[in-house]
Structure 1
Amino acid sequence: MQLRRNVLTRRTAAALLLGLSVAGCTSQPAADRPAPAAFNDTDTAWIQLLIPMDERASQLIALAPARAGHPALAGWAKEAGRRLKDELVPLRELLDASGVPDTRPHEGHNMPGMVTLDTVRRARTVTGESFDRLLTESLRTHLVQVRMLCASERTSGRAQRAKDLATVIERSAAQQITRLDALPVRAATAS
């Protein structure tokens, strides 16, 4: 059973990398600065994807104090925003350690789980229940995708620092999903 899960996870990671390559989002290091041997393509693709995903999610979360209708959701968003800010620090350190320049290969792309700029724009125009629904749906999708990407990194990545961080982020995302799903606002907006 474990072997079957490992094969499926490897296939997921391979599909992720293939998808990034097909979309023109390869994580090739600059010719003059090759990535250190400790980092493979999965590591750098994971880092280069999670940074913009977290940055976009942070933009949406930052709107919650002024726009959320339910105080519990505003509180959850405040904590989630702190976690994202804290998460971005080691991700950027890993990017620097990988030797891959911060060229933003995913700029302008709406990757699965990434909060779109259109979503952020819409969120700026709504409040209360409409904002709550937009925030919870967008962030739940983001967190589910983050968990999947972290699982792929843990299985197919090479850099131990990246794999360790993926474990921490995956656990944090799972906890955030549980808390988000337990909010009274979640049940009200799901119907």
Structure 2
Amino acid sequence: MQLGRNVLTRRTAAALLLGLAVAGCTPQPATDRPAPAAFNDTDTAWLQLMIPMDERASLLVDLAPTRAGRPALAGWAAGAERRLKDELVDLRALLEASGVPDTRPHEGHNMPGMVTLDTVRRARTVTGDNFDRLFTESLRAHLAQVRTLCASERRSGSAERAKDLAAAIERRAARQITRLDALR
């Protein structure tokens, strides 16, 4: 039985490293509080990546009502804002359930698909078509990366609650990309 567990541990570690490589980060040292057995390293890494990704996207989405040139894009952003807020509630609750503290190991990292603080600053200085272009490009990249991260979680995670949430987020992101593309 121990040999099987070691193989599983190596596979889990490999999946985590792959997920972090896709996200552009390096693994952080382990904390003093291990996660409950239902959550593996991939689950907690996914949660620790998704929370800052969605927080940054929220910063940009919050600007759309006053800066967007097209009312349809501002409407899409209003729906996206609600979904991001709900998603963040679910992600934070799941992180708490995992037993891993919210230590922000990726603070300050600009991961692929993450809305950068520079992008948010630029978005605050433009309106109309310039904002719309910056907004749609940034949010499309965010949503594409979210789908990639969620697919990795579904494949390599072990906590059913995390995998279920990842599947739901992945489906929503796909629908949002389709709607956003239709607004271009």
2: CA distance, partners of 1:126 / 1:52:
24
Return closer, same or farther for 1:18/1:27 CA change in 2, 3 Å cut-off: farther
1:157 corresponds in structure 2 to: 157
In the superposition, the TM-score normalised over structure 1's length comes to 0.85
- 1:13 to partner: Cα distance: 5.9
Q: Is 1:168 aligned to 2:168, yes or no?
A: yes
Q: Which runs of 5+ in 2 are unaligned?
A: 1-13
Q: Secondary structure at the match of 1:169?
A: helix
- 1:15 to partner: Cα distance: 1.8
CA deviations 1:89-118 (Å, max 9, x no partner) are: 110011101111111011000001100000
Q: Secondary structure at the match of 2:42?
A: helix
Q: Secondary structure at the match of 1:54?
A: helix
1:177 corresponds in structure 2 to: 177
Number of equivalenced pairs: 172
1:103 corresponds in structure 2 to: 103
Return closer, same or farther for 1:151/1:44 CA change in 2, 3 Å cut-off: same
Give the CA RMSD over aligned residues.
1.9
2: CA distance, partners of 1:25 / 1:128:
40
Alignment of 1:1-191 (within 5 A): 14-18=17-21, 23-26=25-28, 28=30, 30-31=31-32, 33-183=33-183, 186=184
1: CA distance, partners of 2:21 / 2:72:
40
Structure 2 residue identity aligned to 1:132? D
Structure 2 residue identity aligned to 1:176? Q
Q: Post-superposition, which runs of at least 4 consecutive aligned residues in structure 1 deviate over 3 A?
A: 11-14, 17-20, 22-25
**Is the 2:51–2:92 Cα contact (8 Å) retained in structure 1?**
yes
- 1:158 to partner: Cα distance: 0.3
Q: Secondary structure at the match of 1:56?
A: helix
- 1:26 to partner: Cα distance: 2.6
2: CA distance, partners of 1:75 / 1:59:
16
- 1:18 to partner: Cα distance: 4.8
- 1:24 to partner: Cα distance: 3.8
2: CA distance, partners of 1:44 / 1:87:
16
- 1:34 to partner: Cα distance: 1.2
2: CA distance, partners of 1:17 / 1:176:
24
